[in-house]
Amino acid sequence: IKHHFQLKQIVQTPTCRNAILDIILTNLHEYYEKPLIMPPFGLSDHNTIISSPKERAKDLISNGTTFKRNINPSSKRALGRYLNSIDWPQIIPSTNDCDQLSNMFQNIVLTGVNILMPMTRSKKCPVDAPWITNHFKSLIIERQKAFSTYGPDSNSFKSLRNQVNRERKICKSNYYKLRVHQMKQTDSKEWWKEVKRLSGMASTRSSDIRNIIDIENLEQLSEQELANKINEAFLDPLS
């Protein structure tokens, strides 16, 4: 195949121990950057390969900023102790006005929440799966550094790889318990949609393939005509 179609193998670094078992063949090698060799996915013994074009369209996806409170178990316990320490019988009789009582109650609760569960700002990539946390992403970064610095056979990389795999399972499990489990009784369609997304059966980002196809008068073509156009584009180099 390589010689018949005048293709070039652009992966020049071992992908499985000392062997190049994963290859990328192309007849447009001059348009591609040198492939990046990244850590294996999960427990695979094959490294991940990233091949990128030299000229790329600007990524229009921007990271969004989200604000959320730290609601870990220790913070919840601290808030409970704070609310239990307040002398409510002393506060409630101080006024008979419902609005004043409501405002007083809200101020007391919000004071404790803002101190014990402060709002934190974090960046969220729109294409990230909903169960991904900042801690999980930080572990991935540490794993990547260990892979690049010490190699795939180092104890440092193997330890971080195992941490990432464990944390991924924990994140998915927590997300299912908090956001998905109750849907099974209330909205079975959304429940199944989330289950497929968690298991990798569905993409976390939906897109119409027509948006990335450059064909004249694309919107006027039927599905069959579009399929024929794509087929012609693949067959053109062979003619």
Task: Tell me which long-range contacts 155-161 makes (C-beta under 8 A, separation of at least 24).
Answer: 157/39, 161/39, 161/40, 161/43
Give the residue, 126 or 61, on which the prediction is more confident: 126
Pairing of strands 48-50, 36-38: antiparallel
Burial bucket for residue 78 (CB in 10 Å: 0-12, 13-18, 19+): middle
Contact 31, 39 (CB under 8 A): no
pLDDT above 60: residue 229: yes
Write the pLDDT tens digit of every residue in 79-88.
999 999 998 8
Residue type, 2: K
Residue 109: the pLDDT is: 92
CA–CA gap between residue 223 and residue 105 (Å, rounded): 61
Q: Is 119 helix (H, G, I), strand (E, B) or coil?
A: strand
Is residue 234 pLDDT above 60, yes or no? yes
Share of the chain above pLDDT 90, in %: 26
The pLDDT of residue 204 is 47
Comparison of pLDDT for 213 and 67, the residue scoring more = 67
pLDDT for res 195: 78
pLDDT band at 170 (very low <50, low <70, confident <90, very high): very high
Rounded CA-CA distance 47/41 in Å is 7
Question: Which pLDDT belongs to residue 4?
Answer: 80
Q: Which of 131, 138, 127 is nearest to 198 (CA)?
A: 131
Q: What is the pLDDT of residue 206?
A: 47
Residue found under tokens 């299912």: 176
pLDDT digits (tens, 9 = 90+) for 193-227: 877 777 766 554 444 555 556 666 766 778 888 88
| pLDDT score of 156 more than 90 | yes
Residue 24's pLDDT band (cuts 50, 70, 90): very high
Domain ranges of the chain: 1-56, 64-121, 126-238
d(CA 123, CA 64): 6
Cβ distance 144 to 164 under 8 Å? Answer: no
Nearest to residue 12, comparing CAs of 37, 31, 32? Answer: 37
| pLDDT recorded at residue 231 | 82
Better-predicted residue by pLDDT, 214 or 133: 133
Q: What average pLDDT does this structure show over 124-153?
A: 86
10-19, 31-40, 54-63, 103-112: least confident range: 54-63
Tell me the percentage of the chain whose pLDDT exceeds 70: 86
Q: In the chain, which residue ranges form alpha helices assigned H by DSSP?
A: 73-84, 88-91, 98-116, 134-150, 155-175, 183-186, 188-198, 223-235
Mean residue pLDDT across the chain: 82
